Amino acid sequence: MPLYQTKTIASILEPVAQQVSKLIILHEEGEDGNAMPDLEVPVVAVSKAVANLVRVGRDTINNSQDMKMKSEMPKSLAGIEKAAESLAQASTSLKSDPFSQVGRDHLIEGSRGILQGTTAMLICFDASQVRKLCRDCKKVLDYLAISEVIETMEDLVQFVKDLSPCLSKVSHDVEERQNDLLNPPQRESLGLHLEQIKTLAPILICSMKIFIQILNQEGTGTDEAIENRNYLAKRMHDEISEVMKILEESAQSDGSVRVVNGVSGLNLSEMTFHEVTKKINQILGSNYVEGQINHQTVQHIVELGYKISEGFEGQIKNEIVDSCNELDRVNQQHGNSLNDPRARQTMTNAIQKLEVIINEAVINRIIQDMADITSPLKQFTDAVLSQEAMARKRDLVEQKGNGLKQFSGRLSKTANIVAFANARNKLRSESLLHLSSQVENLTPQLVNAGTIKISYPENKAADENFENLRKQYAAGVQTVRDICDEAIDIKTFLKQTSEHIQTSIITCEEGVRTKQSQVIVESTTLAARLSNRLLMALARESENSEDLNLKKQVNQSADKLKMVIAPFVESSKTMAINISDQGHYKRWRGASTNLLQMVTEVQQLFSELNMYGQDSNHLQGIQIPVLIDQQPPPIPPLPVIDVQAPPRPPLPQDHVDPTPPRPPLPDTDDEEGLFTSEPGSNRPIHMAAHGLYQEVKQWDHTDNEIIAAAKKIAYLMAHLSELIRGGKGTKRELIACAKALADASESITDLAKDLARHCTDKKIRTSLLQVCEKIPTLGTQLRVLSTVKATMMGANMDTEEDQEAMDMLVFNAQKLNQAVKETVRAAEAASIRVRSDAGFKLKWVRKQPWFQ
């Protein structure tokens, strides 16, 4: 049975699964020897619903041109009709004989067939709709291909008339699909590409217009205009192709179990270096390593490290390679014995050493290459708009254009390093790679647009074309830097930025000593730009926070930093003009000292307010504080005893009543011993539950409902594994357990959303909402899949159909456990950004190990 991907299908299947569950429970009661009730009324209702469903399905087939759907959907409809007939036969048989075995068999067959047939039909129809949308996208691509042969304004007008309605329809339908998808990354990716398509369409039309005008005038710049037009047409083609790719992925319903690089349920090949090391550090930091990490997993980190080193040169590259070699050596020695705590610690140290070296190298590269992202474009724009003589102007545009190309190449290379090394997730990594490639490819087209503009200074289309591409370039560069800044560890960034500012001031001192004005100007400019980068970091933190006290402190720090940057720059300019003037030098010394002091204050502010973000904790060893009241209540005075002590209670031998039974443990603890030993690989659902339990058992669930809910999910998942293992459980128990899991999934999601509402950090709040959003869908899918599995318990065990249902159930269970783990971690990070006066308390108290 395939997994579904849309809210529409979920809204239809869930009530169907609930009704089928009731029929399955009735069947089991009959198996236990009870008389079956009269099913005529519910079966008639089902028959009517099935007849309506089949009629709609056949109408859809008749009105569709999709040959694949015409061949696949009739099978689903036939299965639904056959299932309805089985239910009707079950009703007839059980009405005449409430104990009829044949009637019970028809009942379970019909129940299974209704659920499977309805699911297959809905997914078949959904895939058909996606293919139809992709065909509409293909029409847009066909229109774009015509752009290369349009050479008159009349043809351009007709081109716009033909393209506009088709593009509008695609945009509308893609937006509807985007809103209906259950997968958050797919929704986000569709939105990003669709926005790019909407932006590029008018820019393409403008580039075609300037080409036609130059062609009609038989002037210079035709080749540049053709390159501009073809580039923009290709950009649109690529964006629409990406949309089609995502749409096709969203219609794929195969959820086979993936075990890649040794980590069950995770595909490490789709993860960045940061994601992999974070995941492995979490596993190594727990006591449950068996089945989660092995020699192959660590080798994957080594290979990623070697790949990242290729982006560097000289000593930095050697340091990364040496650290990779060391990790490789440790992996050869201990990679297959990670259950040994000493081997695990040695491996952890080697991984963290490589992580720190790469992290520092990447941040240092960002600081160097992205301190100033505006000057290259500004210099090129000034050259294009200058009033110089034409010959001089062309030389100037060529010179600044080459400088812009060099800057873009360097920026793109650095962005690619960040994408592989530090990006927080696959979506961010792909976005960064995509944007950096766009910036690099856009640069020569911007230079071409500048060349056209200086050739046709009075042409409005040339002005508009240049301005469009200039804005595209500026926005692309800014977005690249924003994503890079978002990806890096802020603590290391602050430390290294401070060191670079100090180095710049020392260089300026050297320029004063050697009387080199140019050195003074360049080093001062760099220090000022780096100080402005700190201002940006403060501005981002202020914008990101809804805590008024924190915003106030951050804004005050930013204002103080601004106040020392301007005097530093002014005193440096004055000193560069009069290097020998000691008065100017003293003023500069005072200004530079004030700047360095303020930079140190900014570092201290980030440390005091713990504004390092949720991903730096594992690297820096920061402990997240427990949320408690600021001042504990005073200790009450001891009571004054004025009365005589009560009489001595009877001794045990004098007390004849039996000892009262021990109260049961709360349902969030391992009262049945499900996690006392590690499950084998032949019990993958239990393994996933065991991994979740190991993750959350370190926390005391008292006063922490999220931890209590996560423990309950782990327990229920392990219980589910026991119920389906060899058919040990009953259908009723399996359905009840799946329902409890779905309810618990809703519960932990509600708790996470409630915490998110109180979190004052926008990024952490968004991260928490994104990870918890997946849980209800997975819980509902698990319930549907468990219902299907319940129909096969007994007679249909160990069949190919049963194995397929089992594979789907395992895959879904692993995904659900992983989503709960991620939610717990995100909730832990969000808890440090809850105001003490919010009235929301969620205590994170680590349990003490037994040996303490």
Tens-digit pLDDT profile for residues 765-777 = 988 998 898 899 8
DSSP 761: B
Give 274 or 613, the one with higher predicted confidence.
274
Per-residue pLDDT at 323 exceeds 90:
yes
Q: How far, CA to CA in Å, does 553 sit from each of 548, 549, 791?
A: 9, 6, 61
Q: How far, CA to CA in Å, does 87 sit from each of 14, 97, 109, 113, 794?
A: 20, 15, 8, 10, 19
Q: Summarize the confidence of residues 48-60 as an average pLDDT.
A: 86
CA-based Rg of the chain, rounded to a whole angstrom? 33
Q: How far, CA to CA in Å, does 501 sit from each of 455, 529, 530?
A: 43, 9, 7
Considering only CA atoms, which of 845, 828, 665 is closest in space to residue 751? 828
Please, which pLDDT band fits residue 349 given cuts at 50, 70 and 90?
A: very high
Other beta carbons within 10 Å of 11: 10
- Is residue 26 packed enough to be buried (19+ CB in 10 Å), middle (13-18) or exposed (0-12)? buried
Summarize pLDDT for 56-106 with one digit per residue, the tens.
Answer: 889 988 888 888 988 989 999 999 889 888 888 888 888 888 888 888 888
CA 70 to CA 63: how far, in whole Å? 10
On average, the pLDDT of the chain sits at: 84
Instruction: Provide the pLDDT for residue 629.
Output: 34
Tell me, rounded to whole angstroms, the distance of Cα 622 from its chain centroid.
23
Q: Summarize the confidence of residues 157-179 as an average pLDDT.
A: 93
CA 832 to CA 453: how far, in whole Å? 54
Please, which pLDDT band fits residue 664 given cuts at 50, 70 and 90?
A: very low
Q: Which residues of 572-608 are buried (b: 16+ CB within 10 A; e: fewer)?
A: bbebbeebeeeebbebbeebbebbbebbeebeebbee
Among the ranges given (41-45, 316-320, 353-357), the one the predictor scored with the smallest mean pLDDT? 41-45
Residue 252 tokens read as 């794929």
Summarize pLDDT for 173-187 with one digit per residue, the tens.
Answer: 999 999 999 888 888
CA 540 to CA 482: how far, in whole Å? 10
Residue with tokens 């009959």: 30
Give 75 or 805, the one with higher predicted confidence.
75
CB of 817 closer than 8 Å to CB of 809: no
CB of 623 closer than 8 Å to CB of 559: no
Per-residue pLDDT at 452 exceeds 70:
yes
CA 375 to CA 838: how far, in whole Å? 45
CA 435 to CA 418: how far, in whole Å? 12
Among the ranges given (234-243, 363-372, 443-452), the one the predictor scored with the smallest mean pLDDT? 363-372
> Within the chain, how many helices (H) and strands (E) appear?
25, 2
Considering only CA atoms, which of 836, 683, 700, 827 is closest in space to residue 765? 827
CA 586 to CA 609: how far, in whole Å? 35
Summarize pLDDT for 543-585 with one digit per residue, the tens.
Answer: 888 888 888 989 999 999 999 999 999 999 888 888 888 888 8
CB of 5 closer than 8 Å to CB of 182: yes
Please, which pLDDT band fits residue 21 given cuts at 50, 70 and 90?
A: confident
Give 456 or 49, the one with higher predicted confidence.
456
Angle in degrees, CA 5, 818, 270, rounded to 5? 75
CA 736 to CA 726: how far, in whole Å? 18
846 in helix, strand or coil?
strand
CB of 23 closer than 8 Å to CB of 111: yes
DSSP 181: B
DSSP 642: -
CB of 95 closer than 8 Å to CB of 40: yes
Q: How many residues does the chain have?
A: 852
Per-residue pLDDT at 851 exceeds 50:
no
Other beta carbons within 10 Å of 108: 27
Q: Summarize the confidence of residues 796-823 as an average pLDDT.
A: 84
Summarize pLDDT for 727-748 with one digit per residue, the tens.
Answer: 677 888 888 999 999 999 999 9
Considering only CA atoms, which of 127, 139, 118, 239 is closest in space to residue 177? 127
Considering only CA atoms, which of 607, 631, 630, 624 is closest in space to residue 832? 624
CB of 710 closer than 8 Å to CB of 827: no
CA 685 to CA 818: how far, in whole Å? 12
Residue 386 tokens read as 């200058």
CA 337 to CA 413: how far, in whole Å? 38
Residue 315 tokens read as 């000593």
Summarize pLDDT for 509-538 with one digit per residue, the tens.
Answer: 898 888 888 999 999 999 999 999 889 888
Please, which pLDDT band fits residue 670 given cuts at 50, 70 and 90?
A: low
Per-residue pLDDT at 648 exceeds 60:
no
Please, which pLDDT band fits residue 703 given cuts at 50, 70 and 90?
A: confident
Please, which pLDDT band fits residue 115 given cuts at 50, 70 and 90?
A: confident
Instruction: Provide the pLDDT for residue 262.
Output: 45
Give 801 or 786, the one with higher predicted confidence.
786
CB of 304 closer than 8 Å to CB of 641: no
Instruction: Provide φ and ψ at 264, rounded to 5°.
Output: -65, 135
Q: How far, CA to CA in Å, does 135 sit from each of 78, 189, 694, 746?
A: 28, 20, 48, 38
Summarize pLDDT for 472-511 with one digit per residue, the tens.
Answer: 999 999 999 999 988 887 888 888 899 999 999 999 989 8
Considering only CA atoms, which of 251, 246, 34 is closest in space to residue 129? 251
Considering only CA atoms, which of 235, 278, 698, 599 is closest in space to residue 440? 235
pTM (2 d.p.): 0.80
Inter-helix orientation angle 426-455/390-421, to 10°: 180
Instruction: Provide the pLDDT for residue 20.
Output: 81
Which of 89-103, 237-251, 785-799, 827-841 is most confident?
237-251
Summarize pLDDT for 582-602 with one digit per residue, the tens.
Answer: 888 899 999 999 999 999 998
Per-residue pLDDT at 654 exceeds 80:
no
